[in-house]
């Protein structure tokens, strides 16, 4: 425990003093502020003179506006954040030849990985909470709506899910930093995995679904049964991607108008806004029930990759050369 | 307390695949002695040290350091043993003091205690003036001296030094050797030093072991080895002559 604490403190100091951290947080804050201002303005126009729809506040995070929503941004950039914070965690010490010194101190070897992981998670948590608070503050000023208990709880859950998800990517990049001796290689490997999950799993899913259950345009329209089968297969395959798990979970939490994690019908932000005047959102508790399996999956894969990380690192011989 | 065994190995073997790095090493190191571990490149010196510290697992055989098995109880061993790896590295963006303090904290030394020790050892290794300078700006010799200070911060009973004088200039080498010798004489620290610089080893070591291709081919005080190998009681032998003799035979 003592070892973890000491290394944790040093790592936190390293993070906060690093240019990397400053650049990343500046980027996130900047994007957050820009998106919120645009979205906030649009919402203000939209709801002028009308009854406020339920859960209006959450639209600050989920409306795409002209660019993309904040939630989409984090969904995209979050993995990169995790990767940036972890890709050189272990091999940096190897390159600077401090690792052999570290492991010859009276600490348990796993406390090195644990402390590095925990400090990364803490930094991610700080960035997430700070940005969500910043956006909320800005949003309150812009649209003049104070979030209610439910909105706040949903945001808290959103932050927790995102923290877990980004930590998964942190774990992946730390794993690569254990496996690969060069920091460039581990960064590239993490990025490759990220690209694979972001683009190829979705692509692969639709290719396989097309092959297994081809949806053809017949004279009598689309074969409904086939379409459903197609959709099911695609969904099962893409749920192997942590990205899909994450985006499903966050949409359910922040966009409770959707009753399932994935609808066949896509709606634009303004349609959703008008729909929200007539529909009741999914209650918080039910939203939570829906996302719990997703959460468990994300935690499970994080633990899995951490387990591999342990296994490799504990058995690794650490020489200086 | 004298003549207590601090390192003992029995048929200690390490294989990398089919390559035998250390072959059935039998070794006893007594408390307070300065032991020189000699051998050409790739002889298995570093590998042996790694096994003594529990940093790599032996393929077979036994090793005990200060009465503990480093493979099973690495924590206990590392508490009491200092290790200076060959080409030691530091956190280059921290100064000497911060580097030492980090190591002290990892050894659970309270800051009040480590403050004084850091001052003391920086003074001894001659880095007091540069102590607030970033280690990234240090010369090779300064880094090596800082490495020694770092090993001593935890006040170990036994230190393993892997090529401690490598890359030092003649003056730096002499000062390093004097320091190592004084540690043994004044603080009764057992010193196990690996090197292939024979004249240095000859100057400070009580006993030497010669390792070639993973085999310990000779062990004992230098004059005894000279008697055995050179067959004479001559004054003017050098360790180099003995070593070359073994080296040619191997
Ligand atoms: N991970 C490894 N895999 C395979 N062989 C290894 C590995 N590590 C070391 N060896 C081999 O073990 C032998 C002993 O290496 P070691 O580093 O102990 O030598 P050394 O005596 O310290 O040499 P030097 O004086 O160059 O430091 C060498 O032949 C080396 O090639
Ligand atoms: Mg070596």
Structure tokens at B92: 């280059």
Q: Please judge whether B91 and A96 are an interchain contact, meaning their C-beta atoms are less than 8 angstroms apart.
A: yes
pLDDT computed for residue B243 by the predictor: 78
Q: Chain B 37-96, CB below 8 Å of chain A: which residues?
A: 46, 50, 53, 55-56, 75-76, 78-79, 81, 83, 85-93
Residue identifier of the C-alpha nearest atom 27 of ligand 1: B41
Q: Would you call A205 helix, strand, or coil by DSSP? A: helix
Domain assignment present for residue A320? The answer is no
Residue to test with chain A: of B102, B114, B140, most A Cβ within 10 A = B102
Contact A312, A177 (CB under 8 A): no
Confidence bin at A268 (pLDDT 50/70/90): low
Domain assignment present for residue A278? The answer is yes
pLDDT mean for each 10 residues of chain B (250 residues): 82 94 94 92 92 92 94 91 92 95 96 95 92 93 92 94 87 89 92 87 89 91 78 66 76
Residue A305 has pLDDT above 80, yes or no: yes
Residue to test with chain A: of B19, B42, B55, most A Cβ within 10 A = B55
Residue A65 has pLDDT above 80, yes or no: no
Between A256 and A181, the more confident residue is: A181
Report the DSSP pairing between strands B5-16 and B19-30: antiparallel
Average per-residue pLDDT for chain A: 85
Residue A14 has pLDDT above 50, yes or no: yes
| Max Cα-Cα span within chain B | 56
| Choice among A32-36, A254-258, B39-43 with the minimum mean pLDDT | A254-258
Q: How far is B61 from chain A (nearest CA, A)?
A: 18
Residue A52 has pLDDT above 80, yes or no: no
Chain B residues with CB-CB distance to A2 below 8 A:
108
- If you measure from the C-alpha of residue B2 to the centroid of ligand 2, how many angstroms do you get, rounded to a whole number? 29
The 10s digit of each residue's pLDDT in A75-100 is 989 999 999 999 999 999 999 999 99
pLDDT computed for residue A259 by the predictor: 47
- If you measure from the C-alpha of residue B31 to the centroid of ligand 1, how many angstroms do you get, rounded to a whole number? 27
State mean pLDDT over A154-159.
Answer: 93
Task: Report the C-alpha gap between A142 and A156 in whole angstroms.
Answer: 21
Burial class (CB in 10 A: 0-12, 13-18, 19+), A308: middle
| Adjacent-strand bridge partners of B162 | B194
Domains and CATH numbers, chain B: 5-249 (3.40.50.300)
State mean pLDDT over A124-140.
Answer: 93
Confidence bin at A291 (pLDDT 50/70/90): confident
Between A233 and A129, the more confident residue is: A129
- If you measure from the C-alpha of residue B44 to the centroid of ligand 1, how many angstroms do you get, rounded to a whole number? 6
Residue A256 has pLDDT above 80, yes or no: no
Domain assignment present for residue A294? The answer is yes
Q: Which ipTM score applies to this complex?
A: 0.88
Task: Report the C-alpha gap between B44 and B215 in whole angstroms.
Answer: 8
DSSP string, A260-290: SSS-SS---HHHHHHHTTTSPPPPHHHHHHH
Confidence bin at A320 (pLDDT 50/70/90): low
- If you measure from the C-alpha of residue B37 to the centroid of ligand 2, how many angstroms do you get, rounded to a whole number? 11
Of all residues in chain A, what percent carry a pLDDT higher than 70?
Answer: 88
pLDDT computed for residue A220 by the predictor: 64
Q: Is A3 near chain B, with CB under 8 Å?
A: yes
Q: Please judge whether A97 and B87 are an interchain contact, meaning their C-beta atoms are less than 8 angstroms apart.
A: yes
Chain B residues with CB-CB distance to A97 below 8 A:
85, 87-89
State mean pLDDT over A293-312.
Answer: 90
| Choice among A221-225, A233-237, B50-54 with the minimum mean pLDDT | A221-225
Domain assignment present for residue A208? The answer is yes
Ligand 1 atom showing the smallest separation from residue B50 Cα: 18
Q: What residue ranges line ligand 1, CB within 6 angstroms? A: A 317; B 16, 19, 21, 39, 41-47, 86, 196
- Which are the contacts of A283, defined by CB distance < 8 A and separation ≥ 6? A256
The dihedral of CA A187, A247, A154, A148: what is its sign? Answer: positive
- In degrees rounded to 5, what are phi and psi of residue B169? -75, 170
Nearest to A189 by CA among A22, A102, A318, A305: A305
Q: How far is B234 from chain A (nearest CA, A)?
A: 40
Q: How far is B150 from chain A (nearest CA, A)?
A: 10
Q: Please judge whether B86 and A320 are an interchain contact, meaning their C-beta atoms are less than 8 angstroms apart.
A: yes
Task: Report the C-alpha gap between B180 and B191 in whole angstroms.
Answer: 8
Domain assignment present for residue A140? The answer is yes
Contact A212, A233 (CB under 8 A): yes
CA distances from B56 to A100, B52, B63, B90 (A): 11, 8, 12, 22
Total domains in the fold of chain A = 1
CA distances from B37 to B19, B29, B46, B134 (A): 21, 11, 10, 33
Q: Would you call A221 helix, strand, or coil by DSSP? A: strand
Task: Report the C-alpha gap between A256 and A291 in whole angstroms.
Answer: 12
To test the ligand 1 pocket, which listed residue (B22, B40, B47, B163) has its Cβ within 8 A of the most ligand atoms? Answer: B47
Q: Would you call A103 helix, strand, or coil by DSSP? A: helix
pTM over 0.90, yes/no: no
Q: Please judge whether A108 and B55 are an interchain contact, meaning their C-beta atoms are less than 8 angstroms apart.
A: no
- If you measure from the C-alpha of residue B68 to the centroid of ligand 2, how many angstroms do you get, rounded to a whole number? 24
Task: Report the C-alpha gap between A82 and A194 in whole angstroms.
Answer: 11
Q: Give me the domain span that covers residue A150.
A: 2-315
């Amino acid at each position: 425990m003592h070892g973890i604490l000491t290394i944790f403190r040093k790592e936190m100091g390293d993070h906060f003093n690093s240019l990397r951290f400053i650049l990343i947080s500046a980027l996130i804050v900047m994007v957050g502020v820009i998106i919120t201002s645009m979205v906030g303005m649009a919402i203000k126009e939209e709801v002028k003179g009308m009854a406020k729809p339920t859960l209006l506040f959450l639209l600050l995070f989920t409306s795409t506006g002209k660019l993309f929503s904040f939630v989409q941004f984090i969904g995209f950039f979050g993995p990169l954040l995790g990767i940036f914070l972890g890709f050189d965690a272990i091999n940096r010490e190897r390159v600077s030849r401090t690792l052999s010194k570290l492991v010859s101190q009276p600490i348990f070897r796993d406390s090195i990985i644990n402390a590095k992981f925990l400090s990364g998670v803490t930094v991610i948590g700080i960035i997430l909470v700070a940005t969500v608070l910043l956006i909320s503050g800005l949003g309150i000023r812009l649209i003049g709506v104070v979030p209610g208990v439910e909105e706040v709880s949903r945001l808290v859950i959103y932050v927790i899910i995102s923290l877990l998800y980004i930590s998964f990517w942190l774990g992946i990049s730390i794993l690569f930093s254990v496996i690969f001796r060069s920091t460039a290689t581990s960064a590239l490997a993490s990025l490759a995995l990220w690209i694979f999950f972001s683009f190829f799993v979705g692509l692969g899913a639709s290719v396989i679904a097309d092959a297994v259950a081809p949806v053809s345009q017949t004279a009598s329209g689309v074969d409904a049964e086939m379409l459903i089968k197609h959709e099911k297969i695609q969904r099962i395959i893409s749920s192997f991607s942590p990205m899909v798990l994450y985006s499903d979970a966050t949409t359910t939490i922040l966009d409770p108008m959707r009753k399932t994690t994935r609808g066949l019908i896509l709606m634009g932000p303004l349609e959703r806004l008008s729909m929200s005047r007539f529909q009741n959102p999914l209650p918080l508790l039910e939203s939570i029930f829906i996302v719990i399996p997703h959460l468990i999956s994300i935690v499970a894969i994080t633990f899995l990759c951490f387990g591999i990380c342990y296994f490799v690192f504990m058995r690794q011989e650490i020489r200086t050369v | 307390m004298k003549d207590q065994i601090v390192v003992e190995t029995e048929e200690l073997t390490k294989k990398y695949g089919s390559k035998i790095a250390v072959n059935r090493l039998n070794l006893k190191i007594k408390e307070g002695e300065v032991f020189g571990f000699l051998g050409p490149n790739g002889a298995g010196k570093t590998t042996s040290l790694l096994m003594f510290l529990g940093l790599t697992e032996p393929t077979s055989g036994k090793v005990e350091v200060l009465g503990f098995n480093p493979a099973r109880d690495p924590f206990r061993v590392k508490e009491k043993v200092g290790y200076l790896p060959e080409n030691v590295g530091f956190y280059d963006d921290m100064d000497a003091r911060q580097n030492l303090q980090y190591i002290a904290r990892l050894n659970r030394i309270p800051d009040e205690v480590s403050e004084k020790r850091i001052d003391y050892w920086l003074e001894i290794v001659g880095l007091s003036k540069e102590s607030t300078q970033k280690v990234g700006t240090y010369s090779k010799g300064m880094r090596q001296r800082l490495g020694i200070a770092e090993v001593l911060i935890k006040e170990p009973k036994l230190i393993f030094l892997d090529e401690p004088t490598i890359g030092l200039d003649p003056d730096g080498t002499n000062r390093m050797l004097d320091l190592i010798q004084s540690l043994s004489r004044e603080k009764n620290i057992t010193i196990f030093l690996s090197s292939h610089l024979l004249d240095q080893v000859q100057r400070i070591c009580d006993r030497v072991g010669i390792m070639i291709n993973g085999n310990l081919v000779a062990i004992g005080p230098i004059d005894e080895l000279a008697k055995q190998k050179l067959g004479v009681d001559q004054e003017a032998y050098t360790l180099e002559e003995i070593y070359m003799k073994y080296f040619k035979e191997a």
